[in-house]
Chain A
Amino acid sequence: MRLSGAEITIKLLEKLGIDVIAGIPGGTNLPLYDSLYNSSIKHILTRHEQGAGFIAQGIARSTGKAAVCFATSGPGATNLLTAIADAKLDSVPIVAITGQVSYDYVGTDSFQEVDAYGLTVPITKHNFLVRAAKDLFRIIPEAFQIAQEGRMGPVLIDIPKNVQTEEVEFEEWPDFNDNSIEYDIDDKVLKQAAKMINEAEKPILYIGGGISNSNSSDILYEFAKKNSIPVVSTLTGLGNFPLEDPLYLGMLGMHGERYTNVLLNEADLILAFGVRFDDRAVGNVNKFCPKAQIIHVDIDDVEIDKIRKVQVSICADVAKVMSKIIDMIEENKREAWISYIMNKKISMPAYLAEENNEFHPMNIIKAVSQLVEDDSIITTDVGQHQMWVAKTYPVKHPKTLLTSSGLGTMGFGLPAAIGAAIANPKKTVVCFSGDGSILMNIQELATLADLNLNVKIIILNNGHLGLVRQQQELFYNKHYMASRFITNPDFAAISKGFGINAYDVKEDEKPIEILKKVFASEEPCLINIPIEKFENVLPMVPPGAGISEMIGGEVI
């Protein structure tokens, strides 16, 4: 066979099971696009490369499999950076393929030349600059393996235009050998961990994204129930433990409930499973769980002892660890600890909105959850609405809440929702956003109109960068500097301008009645709902404080 680098790339992507690519063509990736012309792969033309990156993320986060985005050199590549960095911090497997100027021109500051390789060194799990077309046979499969093995993450492949057009004579396609990493789990350490669990009086499981990524929510449930270990979750771990179970203590951290954070600091043993002690989750790490010994299980060895030195650690797939350790732990009802927790939940109840206020964001979010199926996919942008969703929305399944947790990228929600809807055509996808966030990738409404997907966008509109305003109110003497928008656009008119049906809820209307109408249809729709401008997300742990040092949100 004699094929060009571009043809080889596309064929390899097909063979690797890729059926959708989001991207934008330009000068240096035109050969790749030419090869897509006859491919079975469906291309989604976005309106900004960051949108393409987040569409790939929406596919990857909702399916657990690597997804691909394309961009041209120069501004195409730099526009992808935020989505790549976002994938790095949340361990999302995406493969970004960028065009590059021909290798002869590299280093000459030629048109649309930027060092995509150099720019992505710190924000990818690994990256490649392809120097010869024959290298693609090795690099493309390797990129997917790196993205998906161990702790998942983004990979960038920068392909100069001359490599895309270079022809290679070859006999056969490479085999994709799946040499997945085997982690040795030391029996002695397992036994020690089991002994600590059996001897603990007040253990708590602190779970995170590792549980979602290792598909271990079922074994987690069995494990926690057998020994009656209460569970707290990080933002990325939501959806992995039944909310109604008495062992469930909710989300910990900066915007966790009062009882969750207080109980954590009373624990004598923390089982940190698939977590990385992020500062938004643990607050001031020196004040985190001061009385507890810690058992840390994570697939990435680098996370062990990075933030918090622990007594016992296991670097392995958390699913495998739990399936082994479950046989070593005793059945235990832990009546004293559980009843203590029950009392704490009663004496420090969750902070709720007034029930009859239909415009309270928490009530809107709850109402939406009652209008859609359990397994619907929820995406958020970043800000107050994100925290209200995390606290209020009953996320019942893993990989159904897609939210930019580590990087906290405003503009994530809409393109991620489009990606999730592409990968899950039978599901309803809801994007909760704010009036600040939605404008950061609003151009993707055009992509949504192209595809006519069942995506509902709900803007909780307070006319502010709400979480910034909240911090200014609480910690900067109410100096509201640059957090209020002087003008606020007519979002419904904008949406209709893109060809997407929309509602602008007025203050004298009933938002929940309108939401019912919206969710009765399978068409895309945008709903702008005005909310109280000065509503805060409470309680809140001030930056730098211990997680039990919360302010606000007392229920008297």
Chain B
Amino acid sequence: MSTENYVIKLIVNNHPGVMSHIVGLFSRRAFNLEGIICLGVGDGNTSQMYLLIKNDERTEQIMKQLEKLHDVLKVSLHTEEEFSIFNKLCCDLE
């Protein structure tokens, strides 16, 4: 994987519709999404989501659009080195 990839970490309300809000945002705004990992955390009221994206001039707009979603509680942007979760998964799959 190239180093221009970024990982967006999200904390979201955990209910069955959240995923469609996140994924729908990427498809309808024509943003690229390279990978998703999602897991419930703590008491199950929230989930943690990791989105793998290619960094380009639209990253800022993606971040703002994600922050605007009502079920998204926290958004942060990281380099792939910081969160090598997708890399590890890639190795496992291979």
Partner-B contacts on A (CB < 8 A): 117-118, 121-122, 125-127, 129, 146, 300-302, 304-306
Q: How far is the CA of A507 from the CA of B84 in the complex (A)?
A: 76
Q: How far is the CA of A302 from the CA of B69 in the complex (A)?
A: 11
Contact partners of A121 in chain B: CB under 8 A: 17, 20-21, 24
- A121-B20, A300-B68 are known contacts; what are 15 more A-B pairs with Cβ within 8 Å? A117-B20, A121-B17, A122-B24, A125-B70, A126-B69, A126-B71, A127-B17, A129-B17, A146-B70, A301-B68, A302-B61, A302-B65, A304-B64, A305-B61, A306-B61
Contact partners of B28 in chain A: CB under 8 A: 122
| A66 CB, nearest partner CB in chain B, Å | 16
Residue of A nearest to B22 (CB): A121
Q: How far is the CA of A454 from the CA of B60 in the complex (A)?
A: 49
Q: How far is the CA of A305 from the CA of B16 in the complex (A)?
A: 32
8 A Cβ contacts from B61-80 to A: 61, 64-65, 67-71
Contact partners of B67 in chain A: CB under 8 A: 301
Q: How far is the CA of A41 from the CA of B69 in the complex (A)?
A: 31
Q: How far is the CA of A118 from the CA of B20 in the complex (A)?
A: 7
8 A Cβ contacts from B1-39 to A: 16-17, 20-21, 24, 28
Contact partners of B60 in chain A: CB under 8 A: 305
| A299 CB, nearest partner CB in chain B, Å | 12
Residue of A nearest to B17 (CB): A117
Contact A302 B17 (CB under 8 A): no
Contact B64 A302 (CB under 8 A): yes
| B60 CB, nearest partner CB in chain A, Å | 7
Residue of B nearest to A126 (CB): B70
| B9 CB, nearest partner CB in chain A, Å | 19
| A127 CB, nearest partner CB in chain B, Å | 8
| A301 CB, nearest partner CB in chain B, Å | 5
Contact B68 A302 (CB under 8 A): yes
Digit string of B40-65 for contact with A (CB within 8 Å is 1, else 0)? 00000000000000000000110011
Partner-A contacts on B (CB < 8 A): 16-17, 20-21, 24, 28, 60-61, 64-65, 67-71
Q: How far is the CA of A118 from the CA of B19 in the complex (A)?
A: 11
| B34 CB, nearest partner CB in chain A, Å | 21
- 15 pairs, CB–CB < 8 Å, chain A vs chain B: A117-B20, A118-B17, A121-B17, A121-B20, A125-B70, A126-B69, A126-B71, A129-B16, A129-B17, A300-B68, A301-B67, A302-B61, A302-B64, A305-B60, A305-B61
Q: How far is the CA of A301 from the CA of B67 in the complex (A)?
A: 10
Q: How far is the CA of A305 from the CA of B21 in the complex (A)?
A: 23
Contact partners of B68 in chain A: CB under 8 A: 300-302
Contact partners of B24 in chain A: CB under 8 A: 121-122
| B68 CB, nearest partner CB in chain A, Å | 6
Residue of B nearest to A303 (CB): B64
4 nearest CB pairs, A to B: A126-B70, A302-B64, A121-B24, A122-B28
Contact partners of B65 in chain A: CB under 8 A: 302
Residue of A nearest to B64 (CB): A302
Contact partners of A146 in chain B: CB under 8 A: 70
Asked, given contacts A121-B24, A122-B24, A126-B70, whether A301 binds B17 with beta carbons under 8 Å apart, the answer is: no
Query: Which one of A117, A121, A127 has the highest number of Cβ atoms from chain B below 10 Å of its Cβ?
Result: A121
Residue of A nearest to B68 (CB): A302
Contact partners of B17 in chain A: CB under 8 A: 117-118, 121, 127, 129
Q: How far is the CA of A304 from the CA of B69 in the complex (A)?
A: 16
Residue of A nearest to B16 (CB): A129
Q: How far is the CA of A304 from the CA of B65 in the complex (A)?
A: 11
Contact partners of A122 in chain B: CB under 8 A: 24, 28
Contact partners of B69 in chain A: CB under 8 A: 126
Q: How far is the CA of A301 from the CA of B64 in the complex (A)?
A: 7
Q: How far is the CA of A302 from the CA of B64 in the complex (A)?
A: 6
Q: How far is the CA of A117 from the CA of B20 in the complex (A)?
A: 10
| B88 CB, nearest partner CB in chain A, Å | 31
Residue of A nearest to B66 (CB): A302
Residue of B nearest to A302 (CB): B64
Q: How far is the CA of A125 from the CA of B65 in the complex (A)?
A: 11
Q: How far is the CA of A182 from the CA of B69 in the complex (A)?
A: 18
Contact partners of A301 in chain B: CB under 8 A: 64, 67-68
Contact partners of A306 in chain B: CB under 8 A: 61
Q: How far is the CA of A301 from the CA of B21 in the complex (A)?
A: 19
Contact partners of B64 in chain A: CB under 8 A: 301-302, 304
Q: How far is the CA of A480 from the CA of B17 in the complex (A)?
A: 45
Contact partners of B21 in chain A: CB under 8 A: 121
| B58 CB, nearest partner CB in chain A, Å | 10
Contact partners of A305 in chain B: CB under 8 A: 60-61
Contact partners of A300 in chain B: CB under 8 A: 68
| B15 CB, nearest partner CB in chain A, Å | 8
Q: How far is the CA of A127 from the CA of B24 in the complex (A)?
A: 13
| A113 CB, nearest partner CB in chain B, Å | 16
| B56 CB, nearest partner CB in chain A, Å | 14
Q: How far is the CA of A125 from the CA of B69 in the complex (A)?
A: 8
Q: How far is the CA of A127 from the CA of B61 in the complex (A)?
A: 22
Residue of B nearest to A309 (CB): B57
| B83 CB, nearest partner CB in chain A, Å | 25
Contact partners of B16 in chain A: CB under 8 A: 129
Residue of B nearest to A129 (CB): B17
Query: Which one of A146, A301, A302, A305 has the highest number of Cβ atoms from chain B below 10 Å of its Cβ?
Result: A302
Residue of A nearest to B70 (CB): A126
| A281 CB, nearest partner CB in chain B, Å | 19
| B12 CB, nearest partner CB in chain A, Å | 13
Q: How far is the CA of A300 from the CA of B68 in the complex (A)?
A: 9
Residue of B nearest to A123 (CB): B28
Residue of A nearest to B24 (CB): A121
Q: How far is the CA of A122 from the CA of B20 in the complex (A)?
A: 9
Contact partners of A129 in chain B: CB under 8 A: 16-17
Q: How far is the CA of A358 from the CA of B92 in the complex (A)?
A: 78
Q: How far is the CA of A122 from the CA of B16 in the complex (A)?
A: 16
Q: How far is the CA of A369 from the CA of B60 in the complex (A)?
A: 46
Contact partners of A127 in chain B: CB under 8 A: 17
